Structure 1
Amino acid sequence: MSAVLNPWPGAATIPAVKAELNYLAPGVARPVSYTFEPPAGVPWSTGDIRPQRVTIQDGRALAALGELALDRSGFSPLAHRSSVTDFSDDALIRDRYYAESAELLRAETGAEKVVVFDHTLRDSANGSRATRSLREPVQRVHNDQTLVSGPRRVRDHLPADEAAERLQHRFAIINLWRPLATVERLPLALCDARSIAPSDLVPSDLVYPDKVGETYSFLHNPEHRWYWFPRLRSDEALLLKIYDSREDGTARLTAHTAFDLPDTPADAAPRRSIELRALVFWSSEAA
């Protein structure tokens, strides 16, 4: 990761919007967030937020040219229609959608093995952080894993012997993000991994009922280059790199957040989406 990124020659001509993104304020103690209702008197999350007005460019043209790709920028769009149409059925999601998504990730990455370990449904009208089955969009710049918690996921979801072997070779954690209807409000903004400096990352505790995970919050950096994909449809998806063990200049992670799109009509449909997280393993030869 580096804070130096030469802009694409045609960057000035790319359509863009200006919007506020919620960064972590500098100088605060290690942030803590709860995935369930915390004890009485304990806040859902800590860490002061400092909104920053940034330029968010339309990523569609650059992605089509290969300038935005999973191993370069840390994210990429893809065209894919799911065979699942009823995302209110949790059993169907875990059975059919998990298997379908694992196959999609194998095809897109060339991985040998994919292990889907969780998913989150979000709804800007009906979701709540207090409801595990249906969450609200997260309007805070973050990444779902850290360079410490990424390897922990392998140990959490594989037998000990296999985990020890897999950790010797390249693996990644990828978020497959899909809208359930055309996104009209609170779209996702994604930060080019090549514009992120190590000093931007702030490890943060994510408290579960049975463990404490670790994610990254982000400090503002004027070098950050933000993109979005206007009016994503349900037959489109985004791949987000949230961890990669490779250290050769490949994008290891990125940052993302929902944001208030300027001039969104009052009657715009709620944002509904599903994100699925998976461990992706390559063979020692492919890695």
Structure 2
Amino acid sequence: MSTTFEERPQADAAHAVQAELNYLRAGEGRPVSYTYEPPPGVPWTSGELEARRVTIQDARGLAAAGELSLDKSGFQHVRHASALTDFGNEDAIRSTYYSESEQLLLKATGAEKIVVFDHTIRDSKSGSRSTAYLREPVRRVHNDQTFVSGPRRVRDHLPADEAAQRLQRRFAIINLWRPLDVVEQLPLALCDARSIDPADVVPGDLVYRDKVGETFSFTYNPAHRWYYFPRLRPDEALLLKIYDSREDGTARLTAHTAFEDPATQPDAAPRRSIELRALVFWKD
């Protein structure tokens, strides 16, 4: 995230869509979201949303030219075919897919160590927020971690001594997002980190059964620059910067959300995807 807007990559305006994205309404305060069915009378998510119509550019040309990357825009497109064909097999995901994803992230980032800590399968037809193993796409502008919860994840997933050492050097949290079929509905919109102002982000509680995490919601800013990758295929993937400890102008996070593409056909296939979350550690 940057407070300056000097670097503005240009996209082809002919390859863009106008769509509504759901932002947190300004002044709503600290939202609270549940990862399980909340107590009676308590909403799944607090904080009123407002739909804002924005332009979402086709990112493929800029990505191919190297203008959109993890450290510039906070997201990056990669070509990578998974060896795994059955994403309904939890054991295979944790063995085959976790292992190959670690190698992909090492190559993409130049990092020293990768620790994959979880994943989520999403299905726009069969998924539900009340079903832990199969979720629905998230249709609000958000980021999965904050500047508080990012370091907390290191302590959660590493031995105490190693965590203390790793926290002294650069580390990040990166999501690897992959469609399981060609994306025909509810594609993922990604916001260029260089267009996000610190005033746009609002921390909120993410309530688990055994702990309370923290995520970012976003309020609307007309400066936001949004991108997507039309008809993303299973042999393509997106890397999303969720947190970065570096504070030198490198993109520290991005915002993302599923959205209703107005060009989607009525008989479009459901969106099925997997997102894998990983801690990324560098030597220095």
Asked if Structure 1 and Structure 2 have the same fold, meaning a TM-score greater than 0.5 normalized by the shorter chain, the answer is yes
Counting only pairs closer than 5 Å after superposition, residues 96-107 of structure 1 correspond to structure 2 as 96-107=96-107
1:62 lines up with 2:38 in the alignment:
no
CA separation in 2, counterparts of 1:2 and 1:203?
18
| Partner residue, 2:272 | 272
1:133 lines up with 2:129 in the alignment:
no
Matched position secondary structure for 1:62: helix
Shift of 1:11: 3.3
* Number of equivalent positions: 283
Counting only pairs closer than 5 Å after superposition, residues 6-21 of structure 1 correspond to structure 2 as 6-8=7-9, 10-11=10-11, 13=13, 15-21=15-21
Counterpart contact for 1:3–1:224, Cα < 8 Å:
no
Q: Which runs of 4+ in 1 moved over 6 A?
A: none
Deviation readout 1:15-35 (Å, 9 max, x if unpaired) = 110000000001112100000
| Partner residue, 2:159 | 159
Counting only pairs closer than 5 Å after superposition, residues 186-205 of structure 1 correspond to structure 2 as 186-205=186-205
Matched position secondary structure for 1:98: helix
Deviation readout 1:81-135 (Å, 9 max, x if unpaired) = 0000100011110111111101110111111100000000000000000000000
CA separation in 2, counterparts of 1:24 and 1:225?
17
Percent identity of paired positions between Structure 1 and Structure 2 = 70
Shift of 1:73: 0.1
CA separation in 1, counterparts of 2:24 and 2:123?
24
Counterpart contact for 2:31–2:205, Cα < 8 Å:
yes
CA separation in 1, counterparts of 2:208 and 2:11?
41
| Partner residue, 1:4 | 5
Counting only pairs closer than 5 Å after superposition, residues 29-48 of structure 1 correspond to structure 2 as 29-48=29-48
Counting only pairs closer than 5 Å after superposition, residues 86-235 of structure 1 correspond to structure 2 as 86-235=86-235
Counterpart contact for 2:11–2:59, Cα < 8 Å:
no
Shift of 1:79: 0.3
Matched position secondary structure for 1:11: coil
RMSD over aligned CA atoms reads 1.0
Give 2:34's aligned amino acid. Answer: Y
Shift of 1:265: 1.0
Counterpart contact for 1:3–1:223, Cα < 8 Å:
no
Listed as ranges, the gaps of 5+ residues in structure 1 are: none
Give 1:81's aligned amino acid. Answer: A
Listed as ranges, the gaps of 5+ residues in structure 2 are: none
| TM norm structure 2 | 0.98
